[in-house]
Structure 1
Amino acid sequence: MAKKRTNKYKKHIKQSPGSIIYTGENPTDQLFINVYDYGPDFINKFELKSVKDSFNFKNTKSVSWINLNGLNHIQEIESLGKHYNLHPLVIADIANTSQRPKIDVYDDYIFIILKMLYYDENENIKIEQISFILGTNYVLTFQEVEGDVFDNVRERLHVSSGRLRTHEADYLLYALIDAIVDHYYIVNETMGNKVEDLEDLLFNGESTDDLGLQVLKLKKEVLKVRRAIFPIREIIGRLEKNENTLIKPNSVQYYGDISDHIIQLSDSIEIYREMIWSLMDMYMTTINNKMNEVMKVLTIMSTIFIPLTFIAGIYGMNFDNIPELHYKYSYYILWGVMIIIFFGMMYYFKKKKWI
């Protein structure tokens, strides 16, 4: 039975513009809020129980990273957004997990949506939307569920001599985006290995019955990764050219490094995309070749039995006046003629290289 597809946009029907509606499929019972508040000489980590506890980090001299897990908690997200003066459409986009990666620049903050990609233990591609709000001295991140690719960033925050502790919030945003992009390389490598494995199976003639389904599944994975990565070039380009004071001049070159990585990943994805189309063609060619081989064998068998059936048909008629019927050795002669015809036709087919 085919899997029933859900319509995420159905929730928006008859709703007013800017309505905050969670469209994801991973609701959490509890809202998790983690805060890293740091400066060159200190770092503090907090696990908040209420969204109101995060309001105190807006106008501090330190840099604060406030990470929220649980996009289905609409009221808390709306409360946080109002305190940080976020536009209602921004809050609506945070809860809408089917958004395309994008960037919106406002006077006092920058809003970015990216896709976090990873493979689960069964090597199925998983896509999670993550939203960023860059303010003067803070970065807000909104995730659907617990678990992310930022462990390396958290470890670097505890190193007092690192750049993260000595730079401002725009560098923290760069580090978080860079962590997501670095994880794209792992996804890209895994996907490349899958393409090469399928290619080896086809070239070695070891194709299985579900090989076609594997190729189609991999094709869908490549398209998902492509949709997640390609828009980032535009996002980084706008950050590099942005005249907003939130992005400091000394941080622009770091975003340029991300742009180089995205270009490299995009080229790899395009190569994999072309390879998968070739695999589809190769798979169909293999299926057709196998069908042709079967048809060739059946045709040869039919061709061999045509004269034998003709002879058997003649001497199988119920006429009394067939001269050879009453000859003592007719049966053996008929067998001899049939055997000679069989081997003669096999020799002829072999000589023509049809078999």
Structure 2
Amino acid sequence: MVKNASALQSPEENDFNYFYDAPGAVPGTLKIDPNAHPPEIVLIDYNPEGACRVHLKQPEDVTAYMVSASVSWVDVRGFGDEDILNRLGQTFKLHPLVLEDVVNVPQRPKVEDYDDQLVIIAQMVVPKPNGVGFWREQVSLILGKTYLLTVQEEPEHDCFDPVRERIRFSKGTIRERGADYLAYTLLDSIIDGFFPVLEDYGERIEDLENEVVSRPTPKTLDKIHQIRRDLLLLRRAIWPQREAINALIRDASPLISRDVQIYLRDCYDHAIQVLDMVETYRELASSLMDVYLSSVSNRMNEIMKVLTVISTLFIPITFIVGLYGMNFKYMPELEWRWGYPLVWSIMLSIEAGLVYFFWKRGWFRPSA
């Protein structure tokens, strides 16, 4: 079976398996999801003097901007039209294997050098509005000399709005730099997008710690399993992404200036921080499972202790009433006037003695 997910997925809907071709498939074959969003092409063209934002109807409309001296950011959102995607590949002269990696998602984050183009595959995570969980999406960046082509799975969610605002209002030095700096800025936004998601998981783990200790339930176990699964997905997203950024720093490319490589080091540091947080939270989630099992075992021990005390209290009096319940004719106490009060006195004395003994042993105190 060929894995393909052209729509943005949450961890509950997709197990983050990477795409693979069916045996014997023709290289460069595109697998289009019939439910995928139709492509939306947005161009942001800018230079130190100004910036403009244009919605392009056809992929060929970008040609006039690509030959200019300004930087052109072509953002394609959606995979729902194979014809437009093929025409986009022809316009940017993309290798068929590049277009396959861009469209057939999800791919493992990586970097590939095609001489006049640098292809960067990344995974982006976006926190859900309710603050529980996240969406994930593949973002492909094709870097040219004066342009950057980005391809996203859908038009609704991304973490690039701060970059768009910086270009629009000329904040910082982004409009004074080239397309390689724009690629770094988007990569840095993708990596930084992991931090809000991980902060939410950190708070959820803290809440679970209190719940596991004080009132563990089967739902608590489900929550632990879900967090562990989500953190595994985040790890599978950030681990190869760190390697890809390291490749950009290590392998010199004429499309990336020395100055931008220095900025990429900071991006690499952020990726390491994200990976450290993921590993730490995974260890905490694993320890929560041990704490949960210990809490359940302690509760079971408390229940068994109560039942044991009750059973022990009734064992001696059960023996006595059973003894005098035997149908023997000659039992001396049966004819005695004070036999019945004496038996009651003996049973109550035994019960009082057992209760005092258990109290002295600390059996009536709750376990720490």
**Normalising by the residue count of structure 1, what TM-score does the alignment of the two structures yield?**
0.92
Structure 2: which 5+ runs fail to align? Answer: 1-11
List per-residue Cα deviations over 1:261-288 (Å, max 9, x = no partner): 1111211111111111111111111011
Partner in structure 2 of residue 105 of structure 1: 113
Are residues 225 and 16 of structure 1, via their aligned partners in 2, closer, same or farther at CA, if it must alter by over 3 Å?
same
1:200 pairs with 2:220: no
Partner in structure 2 of residue 252 of structure 1: 261
User: Once the 2 structures are TM-superposed, how far is the Cα of residue 308 of structure 1 from its aligned partner?
Assistant: 1.6
Q: Report the identity percentage.
A: 39
User: Once the 2 structures are TM-superposed, how far is the Cα of residue 96 of structure 1 from its aligned partner?
Assistant: 2.1
Counterpart of 2:340 in structure 1: which amino acid?
Answer: Y
**Correspondence for 2:162 among 140, 148, 152:** 152
CA distance in 1 between partners of 2:125 and 2:55 (Å): 25
**Correspondence for 1:293 among 299, 302, 306:** 302
Are residues 332 and 5 of structure 1, via their aligned partners in 2, closer, same or farther at CA, if it must alter by over 3 Å?
farther
**Correspondence for 1:268 among 277, 283, 292:** 277
Q: Is the 8 A contact 1:26 1:144 kept in 2?
A: no
Which shifted more, 255-264 or 97-106? 97-106
Partner in structure 2 of residue 118 of structure 1: 126
Q: Is the 8 A contact 1:134 1:170 kept in 2?
A: yes
User: Counterpart of 2:76 in 1: which secondary structure?
Assistant: strand
Structure 1: which 5+ runs fail to align? Answer: none
Q: Is the 8 A contact 1:37 1:65 kept in 2?
A: yes
User: Once the 2 structures are TM-superposed, how far is the Cα of residue 161 of structure 1 from its aligned partner?
Assistant: 6.3
**Correspondence for 1:87 among 95, 112, 126:** 95
List per-residue Cα deviations over 1:231-256 (Å, max 9, x = no partner): 12211111112221100111111101
Partner in structure 2 of residue 75 of structure 1: 83
Q: Is the 8 A contact 1:170 1:246 kept in 2?
A: yes
Which structure is higher in RCO with an 8 Å CA cutoff and minimum separation 6?
A: 2
CA distance in 1 between partners of 2:327 and 2:173 (Å): 103
CA distance in 1 between partners of 2:50 and 2:164 (Å): 14
Partner in structure 2 of residue 328 of structure 1: 337
Q: Is the 8 A contact 1:74 1:95 kept in 2?
A: no
User: Once the 2 structures are TM-superposed, how far is the Cα of residue 76 of structure 1 from its aligned partner?
Assistant: 1.4
Partner in structure 1 of residue 56 of structure 2: 48
Partner in structure 2 of residue 63 of structure 1: 71
User: Counterpart of 1:277 in 2: which secondary structure?
Assistant: helix
CA distance in 1 between partners of 2:329 and 2:293 (Å): 56
Q: Is the 8 A contact 2:41 2:56 kept in 1?
A: yes
**Normalising by the residue count of structure 2, what TM-score does the alignment of the two structures yield?**
0.89
Q: Is the 8 A contact 2:18 2:107 kept in 1?
A: no
**Correspondence for 1:219 among 210, 223, 228:** 228
User: Counterpart of 1:210 in 2: which secondary structure?
Assistant: helix
Q: What is the aligned residue count?
A: 350
User: Counterpart of 1:176 in 2: which secondary structure?
Assistant: helix
User: Counterpart of 1:19 in 2: which secondary structure?
Assistant: coil
Q: Is the 8 A contact 1:26 1:145 kept in 2?
A: no
**Correspondence for 1:17 among 24, 27, 35:** 27
Partner in structure 2 of residue 187 of structure 1: 197
CA distance in 2 between partners of 1:194 and 1:27 (Å): 32
